[in-house]
Amino acid sequence: MSLSNFFAKHTKGALSIYNSINRLLLSRKKLIFIGLLCTVVGSALSLFMPILMKFTVDTVLVKGNWRILLFTLAGLVVLPVAAAILTSIMSRIRVQIGGEVTDALRESLFQKITQLPPYVLHQYKPGDLVGRITRSCGEIGEVYIQNELLPAFQTALVCIGTIGIMFALSWKLALISFTLLIPFILFISHVLGKKVERSMTRFFSILSKADGYFVERIANMKTVQLFTQEKKEKEAVKSWMTTYRESRRQTSYLRIWFLDILGSFEQSFGTGLVFAFGAWQVLRGDPSMTIGSLIAFTVYVPILYSSIHTLQQAYVGHQKAKPAMKLIEEVLFVWEKEEESSNSPIKASTIREMSFEAVCFHHKDGSGKLDDVSFCIQTGETVAIVGPTGAGKSTIFDLILGFLEPHAGRIRLNGAHLNVYELASVRERVTLIEQAPIMWDDTIRNNLIYSNENVTEEDIRKALNIAQMHDFIDTLPEGMETVIGERGVRLSGGERQRLAVARAILRDPDIVLMDEPTSALDSTTEEALMRKLFKWKGNRTFLIIAHRLSTIREADRILVLEDGRIVETGTHEELLEKEGLYTKLYYTQMSKGRVTKALTKSAIE
């Protein structure tokens, strides 16, 4: 099982990101075991070096036993090389694990984002989410785990081995090494860790805001230029860079002062103190301290303090990574959908009937509310929804597609509650054509088949013909392979809408939801498109939101919404006879149309 699949499997229900990362690392226990084995052997070889130096001094130099000098010299050459090879193997394993953890975090975070409903995603800026996927995940996998956590295991082994050897050589010097400096080191690590965590929390906050700012401004540079605010935006960027540099400098200074400078002081002072006491023992003829033991001990002291220094860095690195973990954790565990049924969701097949039963929903900002909405739509019906802005029309579509959940009431498909179905399978049978459809920065062909890759060239040709796009594409030098730019910026609004209609047709759904799908088209093109759509319709169900009431006159039923309630229902003729809200909307729109025509004619004359 890949790390990404493992992480996705164990994320749901985990208490925190720590649990998930621990389980993820344990899933690679064989690889970690090989690395630790290399670390143990390599550390043992490195720690044996001072012992070999002690033996060389006490046996060869002091006692004059020159016959074994060649062997000791060979050991002093071979052992470091062997230790370096084993260390390099562990380094490669660390890089592999760190990279896999980063990839798994990124894939899991992106997968979670694809599952979040719009009302949750709207809490975050796109740039902020991108920063969490790229930078925060890399901070954990490729920086903390690869460069600090896994090396800490190696360092811990070296530290334990060094302590054992030091006590074996001289318990007095070992106690001096520990009692004078270790408490000071631990205190400094604790203080530094807290300061670094606060500093990094502020640093990530600054970066998160910058991500959102840059993505928003670059995506909407036309607005900046329209209102000639280039200078203002430049000053805002300069201000951000000043804040960024100051925050980065603060974190760097903390590490330099506490880890580098104080670490060097600890090591030099400790080594000097131990050497002085050991030399005093040698001078006074203490049998427990030979010249070789003193040299070996003097080598072990820097190794010990260097190991402790590395463990300090690992602790500080953990504190540094905690803000990044919180950013990832916030998204991974931000929303867990409550399943109404304990059974596994079923796949939606052909949808024959859809109904709302006393459905209520209220947005937090008070917009788009629904209050006790009930209706039923059968296969093949064309139902239109009309009403003033903010009446709740688009909210109905979001509820059908599962982007929102009703606060009360039920939505049923084929008589079963919407929640019993696998949401992805519902969206395969229900498609939406929006007023402002999103297109990718890709070719026309790839945008079309994004809804369904299992289509033929004949299917594409028919869809484009229905959408009134075939003649336009024939005029393009690159035809279907034309790249349309981010959000389809190289197409007009009407061209994007027609491309969205063709894309929906290729989806081959049971229910087509249309939210002002032809608002950017002229009346002639709109009439031709709608005529062909209804010819293609067959037994499919159409649910249409329209402000142009002339386009829905042939609907089987029209639902009139006002303040989240259905206040009228019937055909076009029936509603006109009632002389209610629909009649008012219809004649208001017709009179505006006549005024517009009169003004246009006057302008021409």
Q: What is the mean pLDDT of the segment spanning 151-177?
A: 82
Q: Read off the pLDDT band of 596 (50, 70, 90).
A: very low
At residue 570, the pLDDT reads: 93
pLDDT band at 541 (very low <50, low <70, confident <90, very high): very high
Contacts of 587 by beta carbon, 8 Å cutoff, 6+ apart: none
The pLDDT value given to residue 603: 36
Residue with tokens 């209610």: 580
| Mean pLDDT value of segment 580-587 | 88
CA distances (Å), 36 to each of 33, 120, 570, in order?
5, 42, 75
* Cα distance between residue 83 and residue 40, in whole Å: 10
Pairing status of strand 408-413 against strand 382-386:
unpaired
| 15 has a pLDDT exceeding 50 | no
Q: 78: which 2 tokens?
A: 């071979």
- Cβ(370)–Cβ(397) under 8 Å? no
How far is the C-alpha of 559 from the C-alpha of 566, rounded, in Å?
Answer: 6
How many CA atoms lie less than 13 Å away from 465 in the CB half-sphere?
A: 8
Q: What does the alpha-carbon distance between residue 80 and residue 86 come to, in Å, rounded to a whole number? A: 10
Query: In what side-by-side order are the strands of the sheet with 370-378?
Result: 370-378, 353-361, 408-413, 416-417
Q: How many other CB atoms sit within 10 Å of the CB of residue 530?
A: 19
Given this model, what pLDDT does residue 67 score?
Answer: 67
What pLDDT digit, counting tens, does each position of 548-562 carry?
777 787 889 999 999
Residue predicted with more confidence, 529 or 206: 529
Residue 576 CA to residue 574 CA, distance in Å, equals 5
Residue 373 near residue 565, CB atoms below 8 Å: yes
Name the token pair of 11: 């994320």
CATH homologous superfamily of 353-604 = P-loop containing nucleotide triphosphate hydrolases (3.40.50.300)
Please give the residue that has the higher pLDDT: either 10 or 578: 578
Is it the case that residue 478 has pLDDT exceeding 80?
yes
- Residue 563's closest CA among 355, 395, 382? 395
Give the mean pLDDT of 453-460. 92
Q: What's the pLDDT at 341? A: 42
DSSP characters for 372-430?
EEEEEEETT-EEEEE-STTSSHHHHHHHHTTSS--SEEEEEETTEEGGGB-HHHHHHHE
Q: Is the pLDDT of residue 221 over 90?
A: no
The answer to whether 347 and 425 have CB atoms below 8 angstroms apart is: yes
Question: Could you tell me if 166 and 174 are in contact, meaning their C-beta atoms sit under 8 angstroms apart?
Answer: yes
pLDDT at 162: 83
Tell me how far apart the alpha carbons of residues 53 and 127 are, in angstroms, rounded to a whole number: 57
| CB-based contacts of 236, cutoff 8 Å, min separation 6 | 213
Categorize the per-residue pLDDT at 365 as very low, low, confident or very high, splitting at 50, 70 and 90: low
Length of the chain equals: 605
Look at 142-156, 178-192, 300-314 and tell me which has the smallest mean pLDDT. Answer: 178-192
With helix as H, strand as E and coil as C, how does 345-381 read?
A: CECCCCCCEEEEEEEEECCCCCCCCEEEEEEEEECCC
What pLDDT sits at residue 595?
38
Q: Which two tokens stand for residue 519?
A: 């608002």
Axis crossing angle, helix 69-115 with helix 17-26, rounded to the nearest 10: 130
With cut-offs at 50, 70 and 90, classify the pLDDT of residue 604: very low
d(CA 494, CA 197): 52
Domain parsing of the chain, residue ranges: 3-332, 353-604
DSSP H/E element including 53: helix 29-55
Q: What pTM does this model have?
A: 0.69
As a whole number of angstroms, the distance between CA 290 and CA 385 comes to 96
Buried b (16+ CB within 10 A) or exposed e, 334-365: eeeeeeeeeeebeebeebeebbbbebebbeee
| Distance in angstroms (rounded) separating the CA atoms of residues 104 and 328 | 12
Which of 13-17, 73-77, 431-435, 502-506 comes out lowest in average pLDDT? 13-17
pLDDT of residue 567: 94
Residue whose tokens read 């597609």 = 401
Question: How many Cβ atoms are within 10 Å of 115's Cβ, its own excluded?
Answer: 13
The DSSP bridge pattern shows strands 565-570 and 416-417 to be unpaired
**Does pLDDT of 347 surpass 50?**
yes
The more confident residue out of 567 and 364 is 567
CATH number for the 3-332 domain, one of 3.40.30.10, 1.20.1560.10, 3.40.50.300, 3.40.50.970? 1.20.1560.10
pLDDT for res 597: 41
Rounded Cα gap, residues 301 and 178, in angstroms: 10
Question: pLDDT, tens digit, for every residue of 283-304?
Answer: 887 777 777 777 887 788 878 8
- Residue 508, pLDDT above cutoff 80: yes
- Identify the band that residue 512 occupies on the pLDDT scale cut at 50, 70 and 90: very high
Question: Model confidence at 359, in pLDDT bands (50, 70, 90)?
Answer: very high
pLDDT score, position 542 = 95
At residue 520, φ and ψ (nearest 5 deg) are -95, 5
Q: Which two tokens stand for residue 428?
A: 């395969």
- Average pLDDT of the residues in 29-34: 82
Query: What is the pLDDT confidence band of residue 594, given thresholds at 50, 70 and 90?
Result: very low
